[in-house]
Structure formats: C-alpha cells, structure tokens
Structure 1
Amino acid sequence: MTLLVTRADCNETIQKLQYTIDRNKFKQLPVYGRAKLANAILLSRFWHVLRITALPSCFFVKISSMIYQFACQEIFPSLRKTTIYHPRLTGSLCVMNVSAQQKVLQNWYIRAILHNNCIDRPIPAFLLQLLVSCIQAAFDCPYHEVPLLFPKACKSTHLSGLHTLSVILKAIDDCPLSSSWDDRKLNLPACLETPFVDLCQSGQICPQILDSATIQLQKAPYFLKIDSSSGLLRFEKKRQECKSPVLLSRIHK
C-alpha cells in the first residue's frame, strides 16, 4: 500500500532534512556517531512514511546524497556510497537504506496477497482486505492475482505515473522467482481475466500476430471459452461467438 505525494511534499521533506543536517553537521562526533545520528534523527523521522510512499527516483537520489555527505563528512579517504549501508561487522556504517527497505516491505505485502496471508509473518487481516480491494478496483479485475502476475493486465487502468499502487507493482517486477511461486495456480475464471498473449506458449502462434498492438490489448475471453464437458479452455469454434472474429481467423491461420 502506498501514499501519494506531490512535488511540493518532496521539496518540503528535503528542506526539513537539510535543516536538521545543518544543525548537526558541525558537532564533533565519531564516524559511527554520525551514522547513528543519521539513522536516529534524520531517517527515522520519515522512515515509516517513506517506505509506503510512491516517490520519484530523483527524491531517493537526493536523500541518499544528503545522508552520505553528512555521515562521511570526517572520513578520508571517503567510502563508496553503496558501502555505507553495509553492516558494521563488515566495517561499514550500517546507515538505513530507505529504498531497499521500501522493497522489503512491499515484498512482504506481495507474499501475503498471493499466498492468502499464509506466510510466516502474516499482515493484519484488514490491511490484506484493503490491498486486495484496492487492486481489484484499480484494474477492474475480480481476481487480484492477475494484475500482480501479468504486467500486461495493468495497462487497462486509469492510473498513471506515481499512482498509489506503483510501488507494489515495481516491487513485484523486481522480485526474483523462487520455488514458492510454483504453488500459485489460477483457476479457469481467473485465467479468462488474463491477457490472451500471456496464455500462449512460444511457437504455438505466429510471433508477428502476437506482437500486434490489437491482440496485445485483448483478454482471453475474446478468443477462448471454458469447455463445459472437459473443463478446459478452448478456442471459440464459431466466428459469431467470438468477440474478435477477424483476429481469431488470423490466429488460426
């Protein structure tokens, strides 16, 4: 779940951080003291909000640059920016990485949503229902798994830019596949809500047809139906039963 902020909100947050840095940058502190101060006074004030807020990448770049300059002010030779987030046991400063923690939090939500909260550390039931309802409403889909698992299913939405679901969608795009994903199986009604091209195996249909912008936008019901006898998906046999008969003819060629 995310909060939506404006450019003015971002600028105000940066100004507050800069003000706090200016007040503390001349204090005589050891290196680890500066890192601890950066975590306790600077980042912790905005920690919970930043982890659930859709923010432009330039905002995170600016924040990390400000924290780096403050924490490494007395270090020579200077540390690389990426190393200040490493644990102290490795000789680094263990500064909070807001961008990384944002992904960790969203991945927790994703696992709860896709596994119906049957995870080691479940999220509150109300939050789960809120996330599911928000996804269903935003993408006009009764099956919340479909927009999360199929990127093309997210194109038919009124949302754009840094919308309230952009953080969780970005997190699942960056999420590595694991064996636990094999347990996720969609029922046939949910499959009919998926984009048609995502149900096609490579080599079954001419690639030029699948690359067509028109077919890319179509859902499975435009060409497929559930066979009442076998309980499987099959192509519409009659042109008059198909919502896109011309495209169906091209697919069958």
Structure 2
Amino acid sequence: MAKTEAISLSGQPLPHWITFLQAHQITSWHDRSCPDSLRYLGFPLVSSIAQRDAFCSSLLTTIQSSCAIHLTRSLFIRGRATVLNTLILSRLWHVLRVISVPVSFLDKVKSVMGQFLQHRMFPPIKLSTLCLPLRSGGLGVLDPSIQQGALQLRWLRPLCLSPHSTSGLVPPWLSFLLRYHTSGTDPQLTLLFHDLRPPDLTGLAGCFRNIFSAIDRLPHDFSSLAPNIATCLALPLRSVCLPATSTTSFPPSWQHLRVEDAFLVDPSFDVLCRRAPADFPRNPLILRKFFKRVDSRDILLQPFLVRAFLPSHILQLNYPSIPSRSGSSINASPFVCGLLPGIPWSKLKPRMYRSLCSSSVSPPLSSTLSSSQWRIFWNLPIHHHVRNIWYRGLHHKLSSRSLLHRILPGPFPTDSCPICEASTDTPDHFLFSCPLKIDVWSTFWQDVFGSHPTLPILHDAFYNLSFPYTRSSDIHAASLFSCALLAIWRHHWSTVFDNTLFVSSTVLSTASRLVAIFKAEKSLDDLACSLAT
C-alpha cells in the first residue's frame, strides 16, 4: 500500500476521501492543489494549468540536457537531425500522443531544436526549411506541431472512416463521446468544422483537443465538392465564407450561426435561396450585415455553396467533372474525402500526413537544386565537415561579411572582405572571387582537372553540382572539390580569428594533404570491402 497513489478525477480536494485513504495507509494524494502532476506510464495526469506547465518545464529541461550531451559528439548537420528525431525528442513523441501542450511550449522546443541543429553556425537556416524532406533541401526534421497531429492518426482514422461502428479499446469510447455531445449533428461534421464543436470537447482536459488540432492542420480545400442541400444547410455560416482580401475578417458573433439561418430550400427547383429578412429565424441584424457584405463582395461564398443555388441539370451541364449531389439527409463524407483527395483514409500514414500538412506551410527555398540533385548531394563522397559548409552555402547562409554586416551592423561595421580588404565580401567573393582564393582555385583546378577554371565554372560546381572530368579515376570530382573548399574555409577563419596570413601556397598544401588523407581512407574502405567479400 505504501506505493499506492490516489488522484482526484475531478481535480478537487476531497477531505473525506483523504481521511478514508489514510486510514488504509494510502498517504499519497493528488489533486489540483499539488504543484506536480501524477505520472502514469510516462504521461502526466494533470488537474490544473500549473501542473501542466510544471511538467512541460521539466520536459523542456530534459530535452535541453540531451542536446547538450549530444553536442559533445562530432556530428554533422544531418547526423544531428537523425539524433534529434530518434533520441532527443523520443520522450516528447511519447507524451504528445496523449497530452495536449500549449503552443508556447512547442515554440520553446523548436528554439532548442534550432540551436542544437545549427550549433556554432551563423546565420541560421530557418527551422521550417530544415523540417522539409531531404529531397526538398531540408533535413527531414520532425516539426513537433505537425508530428503531434500525425500521432493522433490512430484515433482519427477510425472516427473518419466510420464514427458509428469503431473497434478496439479507445476508438469506441471516443466515438460515444463525440456522438453524445453532438446529438442532432453528424459527428463527422463536428470533427471537420470548428464552429460545430461543443465547448465540452475543446477544453484543456478534453481528449479531443489534439484530435481536432490534427484534422485542422490538413488542407481544407472543398472547392470541387458537391454536398447535398441538407448537408449545406447544417454547416456553420463562417465555414462557407471566403475572405475577399487578406484583411477581411469574420466577427465572432457569426460563430453560432448556421447556413440554414441565412438560406432555405426552394422546393420548386430543389436549390438553395436567400431568406427574406422577415424570415430570419434569429439574429436578424447580424444576418443583414452578412448579406450586405456578400452583396458588396467584401466576402465570397465557397464554390460548393454557390453550386447549391443551381438546379442539378444545370450543374451537370456546367460542371461535368464534379459529381452530382445526391441524398436528402446530412452526409459529411464528401468533406471527409475532400481532406485527402485521391487518398483513402485507411491508407493515410504519419509520413503522408506530415507531407500534406507541410505542403501548405513550406517556405520558399533559396536553393535551386532539384530533388534528384539533392539526392546526389547527400550521396556525394565528401567529408562531413565540408558537407555542413556546402549545405549552408546552398541555402545562402554562409558567414560572408556582407551578410553579417546586413544582419549585425554593430559588430560588423563594414562589408569588405577580411582577406583582400578591397571588395565587398559577397558569398561568391567569399568562396571564389577573392584574388587570393581564385589563385588557390586556379592552381588546384589545373592540377586535378587539367583546365583553367572561370568563376561561372566554380559557381556551377558549387551551386549546381556540375563537375569536370577528373584525371584520377579512383576519386570522385566532388571529393577533390570539397578538399579545396575545406582548405580555403579553414584558412579563411584562421586569418579572421588568429591573424595569420592567407597564403595561397599554404592553402594549396592543406588541400593536397586533405586529398591524400581522403585517398588513404578510400583505400582502407576498398580493402575492407574486398576482405569482407
């Protein structure tokens, strides 16, 4: 009994229960007045916001400690992404499957993730870029906000497939709660549309909070749907409106209104039509303002609702590719299927979910590499250190003086090159066109490729992975290029931090030594492979 812990399910202190339990040697009691939550199977059973915040703070500290430990390892940026996804954030993934956490906590986690991934790298690449797939120029880092939604699929799929006949342990319970709190409304419509969700299901402790967030993250493009009239009338009024401009907003007073409050069925043609002001069932002032904004084109109506004003034969004539509306009862299936165009819900996997959610928020990439070129880049036989440099350069985030001056004009009052001190230190100047560096490239290129490089050739090699034929058949051209790049990088920063001279012959000597080391390592790898076979 000494290990037994009791918890108040309501969160309220219950003195009579405390006395009863103490009489049976159960002294551990948890309610909302306790500073910390009870843990069960690694999940916090929170009774108050303070307990939730205390748990989140503890979890964030654990993540920060794990990051500090792994920063002592010599991991390149892609290796850090793998460690982050699989080790450092593993406990977070376990918790997010069940527990709802505030957005502010996830923002703090993202900040820690960015600092870990780009430790000692400046300027940083946006975390949203690093969360893109490898083939798109990212690192495949899992975005905690999107991953939380992906972890809800085990509950969301059964509810979207068949909310009335779910199987298993948890889905039937969720289905019952959903139907109980949405009597008179199709439960699937409650899943899809925010204004139909009762407060009892959206509260802090509600089990549907994460499920609703997961479905809200999916792209809601219903423009090509053709729901029947009964379904259109059951929808929230705000959900059938589109903003005419980016500044258009919908007032909170519309939240409780339905389409049936503003429109009704014309039985002659089985189409929707506007209600006359005298027929408004409630809130006539709000509905008058609504139609005034519609008439002035301040707001637009969803295409599927506009098509509900057309008779079926005209609809089929003008929109042959859109299925004709059918049925006289509320049917949410067109909207459920519309969330995943061409994809059955039974086939929706976490990776596919993340891809769908990321496609709507992906930032424009600064790199011009195609998917196949990114695949080539990640497979290039180059040193991990130089891959970090190259990756940053492809995203235009190298620490050139011009970029540093633009971001931090105080510490970097000038944008001139610290090596030649004569030109603006642009990324191309930083890598190639500085007079001392172009001398290194010219000599090195002549030795390994047998030709004289021009700036466009060097630019093409770095940014487009286009390399000339190499004299040495046993080593990849990118490997040779990376050795010169790494040598120039090291001597550049040695000049900046140690005040050493940038001497072309010394840089070439370093590049030659890196090539020799690379060849020796490759010979050992080839020997190991031959012995293994």
With the shorter chain as reference, the TM-score category is 0.5 to 0.7
Question: Any idea what SS the aligned residue of 2:200 has?
Answer: coil
1:211 aligns with 2:286: yes
Given residue 81 of structure 2, which amino acid in structure 1 is its aligned partner? A
The residue aligned with 2:218 is 175
2:200 & 2:86 partners in 1: Cα distance?
40
1:85 & 1:58 partners in 2: Cα distance?
19
The residue aligned with 2:93 is 47
The residue aligned with 2:54 is 8
2:140 & 2:179 partners in 1: Cα distance?
39
Shift of 1:182: 5.3
2:94 & 2:226 partners in 1: Cα distance?
31
1:141 aligns with 2:202: no
2:135 & 2:81 partners in 1: Cα distance?
14
TM-score, L = length of structure 2 = 0.33
1:87 & 1:150 partners in 2: Cα distance?
30
1:163 aligns with 2:234: no
The residue aligned with 2:158 is 112
Could you say if the C-alpha distance between residues 210 and 146 of structure 1 is closer, same or farther in structure 2, counting changes exceeding 3 Å?
Answer: farther
The residue aligned with 2:69 is 23
Given residue 91 of structure 2, which amino acid in structure 1 is its aligned partner? R
1:170 & 1:135 partners in 2: Cα distance?
15
Given residue 66 of structure 2, which amino acid in structure 1 is its aligned partner? T
1:108 & 1:34 partners in 2: Cα distance?
28
2:258 & 2:136 partners in 1: Cα distance?
47
1:95 & 1:57 partners in 2: Cα distance?
18
1:3 & 1:124 partners in 2: Cα distance?
26
Structure 1 residues not aligned, in runs of 5+: 118-122, 213-230, 234-253
Runs of 4 or more above 4 Å deviation: 2-5, 181-188
Alignment check: 8 A CA contact 1:35 1:71 kept = yes
Structure 2 residues not aligned, in runs of 5+: 1-42, 47-51, 235-255, 264-273, 288-327, 331-533
Alignment check: 8 A CA contact 1:84 1:95 kept = yes
1:111 & 1:200 partners in 2: Cα distance?
32
1:152 aligns with 2:213: no
1:197 aligns with 2:258: yes
Given residue 204 of structure 1, which amino acid in structure 2 is its aligned partner? R
Shift of 1:66: 0.4
Given residue 159 of structure 2, which amino acid in structure 1 is its aligned partner? I
1:129 & 1:205 partners in 2: Cα distance?
43
Could you say if the C-alpha distance between residues 232 and 61 of structure 1 is closer, same or farther in structure 2, counting changes exceeding 3 Å?
Answer: closer
Per-residue deviation, residues 163-222 of structure 1 (Å, max 9, x unmatched): 32122223334433356x95987989xx6xxx772434543254752738xxxxxxxxxx
1:109 & 1:210 partners in 2: Cα distance?
41
Shift of 1:68: 0.9
Question: Any idea what SS the aligned residue of 1:176 has?
Answer: coil
Alignment check: 8 A CA contact 1:148 1:172 kept = yes
2:122 & 2:137 partners in 1: Cα distance?
14
Given residue 113 of structure 2, which amino acid in structure 1 is its aligned partner? I
The residue aligned with 2:142 is 96
* Residue in structure 2 matching 1:82, options 128, 149, 157: 128
Shift of 1:87: 1.7
Given residue 219 of structure 2, which amino acid in structure 1 is its aligned partner? P
Could you say if the C-alpha distance between residues 199 and 114 of structure 1 is closer, same or farther in structure 2, counting changes exceeding 3 Å?
Answer: farther
Could you say if the C-alpha distance between residues 116 and 186 of structure 1 is closer, same or farther in structure 2, counting changes exceeding 3 Å?
Answer: farther
Alignment check: 8 A CA contact 1:197 1:210 kept = no
Could you say if the C-alpha distance between residues 105 and 186 of structure 1 is closer, same or farther in structure 2, counting changes exceeding 3 Å?
Answer: farther
1:40 & 1:232 partners in 2: Cα distance?
47
* Residue in structure 1 matching 2:116, options 62, 65, 70: 70
2:95 & 2:228 partners in 1: Cα distance?
34
2:221 & 2:157 partners in 1: Cα distance?
12
The residue aligned with 2:462 is none
Could you say if the C-alpha distance between residues 64 and 20 of structure 1 is closer, same or farther in structure 2, counting changes exceeding 3 Å?
Answer: same
1:75 & 1:172 partners in 2: Cα distance?
36
The higher radius of gyration belongs to 2
Could you say if the C-alpha distance between residues 41 and 104 of structure 1 is closer, same or farther in structure 2, counting changes exceeding 3 Å?
Answer: closer
Alignment check: 8 A CA contact 1:25 1:70 kept = yes
The residue aligned with 1:59 is 105
Shift of 1:9: 1.4
1:185 & 1:232 partners in 2: Cα distance?
8
TM-score, L = length of structure 1 = 0.63
Alignment check: 8 A CA contact 2:100 2:209 kept = yes
The residue aligned with 1:38 is 84
Shift of 1:24: 2.2
Alignment check: 8 A CA contact 2:152 2:214 kept = yes
Given residue 151 of structure 1, which amino acid in structure 2 is its aligned partner? H
Shift of 1:129: 1.2
1:116 & 1:72 partners in 2: Cα distance?
45
Aligned residues: 206
Question: Any idea what SS the aligned residue of 2:169 has?
Answer: helix
The residue aligned with 1:129 is 172
1:158 & 1:90 partners in 2: Cα distance?
38
Alignment check: 8 A CA contact 1:31 1:74 kept = no
2:188 & 2:169 partners in 1: Cα distance?
18
Report % sequence identity.
Answer: 23
